Amino acid sequence: MASKTYRICTLPGDGIGPEIMAQAVKALEAIGRAYDVDFQCEEHLIGGCAIDATAAAGRTPTALPDETLEAARACDAVLLAAVGGPKWDGAAPGQARPEQGLLAIRKQLGLYLNLRPVRVYPALIDASPLRPERLKGVDLVIVRELTGGLYFGAHERKTDVAGAGADGRPGTFCRDTMEYSEYEIERVVRWAFEAARRRPSKRVASVDKANVLETSRLWREVAHRVAAEYPDVEETDVLVDNCSMQLVNNPAQFSVLVTENTFGDILSDEASMLSGSLGMLASASLGDGTALYEPSHGSAPDIAGRGIANPIAQLLSVELMLRYSFKMDDAADALAGAIDDVLADGWRTGDIADASTPADHRLGTDAMGDKVVEAFEARAAR
């Protein structure tokens, strides 16, 4: 009997999801053995596969079945891979879409904050499209608001609206609304300041579009109010367009970036390229309910089923889960260290390989998972 038991709700989802989730489950088994913990993984449906399964069972098609949400609530953590794919892209307005499953689980679990740490791996400096000198000293974390803004404001679609078509003819009109309440801003901004306080570089960049948007002007007011409580942390306001330029021009200036939902979505994909690949960026969604961990990338339908996807962002999501949900910092350090070791030894999946990678060091998804587990076990045995 292991000394501790944790229940993990695993949601492989669509596309490359099941392939990379298999590596995470394998890693969890090894971590459990090394640290005397029984991780009980329970697999459930989310996204396109959930839409298909509910439809096949004669139920109303949904990307987040009730039983999945109930399991997520009952577990100690949720580990998700990815949702979506071309099969469901053509959904008509009002029909279920895979992404709704992800948005619904975030909302239903009250996960208002999404953390995306961006690290530069010395071994991968050449995999980044940026010049090595720009990457020196890069160590930042994006704190993205996750249950507000455009994603959750009122959406509307109207057809046959007078004048909405070309040449004054009737046409379609759509509206998405960016909405924020003070408390929604304050809780993520405060979290960012707390995190900055624990970092070597105590800086928070609050990202907004206050020169245009009212929600951003409120964001900035709240950021300043919270900043006044943290005199040891340096706060700067950065306009989002400027931020996206600074992220490639001088990314080392940032420590903690805090921003609203849509800006965070866009900036985090951009920032992932500092690590060399979107396949390296993990995330933790935290808030009121069971925390959820997932790679920041999508389901990569173009390479699904081929066994070539990079499982590292999924494994780094396990690392975040060990840290934030289970307070197993030693195990998290060993897993992160194992990934460093594997990369330093020159092992690469296709997305992070370059011309200098020998053919025998190019790995598929499963072999990369095995390498990380092997390196983890070597570290844990030390």
For binding to ligand IPM (CB under 6 A), which residues are involved? 84, 99, 102, 265, 296, 298
Which of the listed partners (ligand IPM, Mg ion, none) does 52 bind, with a CB threshold of 5 to 8 Å by partner kind?
none
**Site for Mg ion contains 237 (CB under 5 A):** no
User: Taking the chain, what is the end-to-end CA distance rounded to the nearest angstrom?
Assistant: 23
Residue 264 neighbours by CB distance under 10 Å = 25
User: Nearest to residue 361, comparing CAs of 123, 31, 27, 132?
Assistant: 123
Task: Provide the residue type at 113 as one letter.
Answer: L
Token pair in block for residue 37: 């913990």
Residues 256-295 that bind Mg ion (CB under 5 A): 265
Q: In the chain, where do the E strands start and end?
A: 4-13, 37-43, 77-82, 113-119, 139-145, 155-161, 171-176, 203-208, 234-239, 256-259, 282-286, 292-295
Q: Tokens for 348?
A: 């690469």
Q: Give whichever of 265 and 294 is closer to Mg ion, judged by the CB atom.
A: 265
Nearer to ligand IPM, 148 or 298 (CB): 298
User: Taking CB within 5 to 8 Å according to partner kind, which of ligand IPM, Mg ion, none is near residue 99?
Assistant: ligand IPM
**Which residues participate in catalysis according to the annotation?**
151, 209, 241, 265, 269
154-159 long-range CB contacts below 8 Å, 24 or more apart?
154/179, 157/93
Minimum CB separation of residue 187 from ligand IPM in Å reads 18
141 CB contacts (<8 Å, ≥6 apart)? 115, 116, 117, 118, 195, 199, 255, 256, 257
Q: What is the nearest approach in angstroms of Mg ion to the Cβ of residue 296?
A: 6
State both tokens at 178.
Answer: 């960016």
Residue 264 touches which member of ligand IPM, Mg ion, none, C-beta under 5-8 Å by kind: none
The nearest distance, CB 97 to ligand IPM, in angstroms, is: 9
Q: Which is nearer to ligand IPM, 151 or 326 (CB)?
A: 151
Calpha distance 283→113 (Å, rounded): 10
Q: Which of 235, 265 has the CB closer to ligand IPM?
A: 265
Please say which residue, 32 or 84, places its beta carbon nearer to ligand IPM: 84
Closest chain position to Mg ion (CB):
265
Closest approach, Cβ 16 to Mg ion, in A, equals 15
The option from Mg ion, ligand IPM, none interacting with 105 (CB < 5 to 8 A, set by class) reads none
* Least gap, CB of 265 to Mg ion (angstroms): 4
Interaction site with Mg ion (CB under 5 A): 265
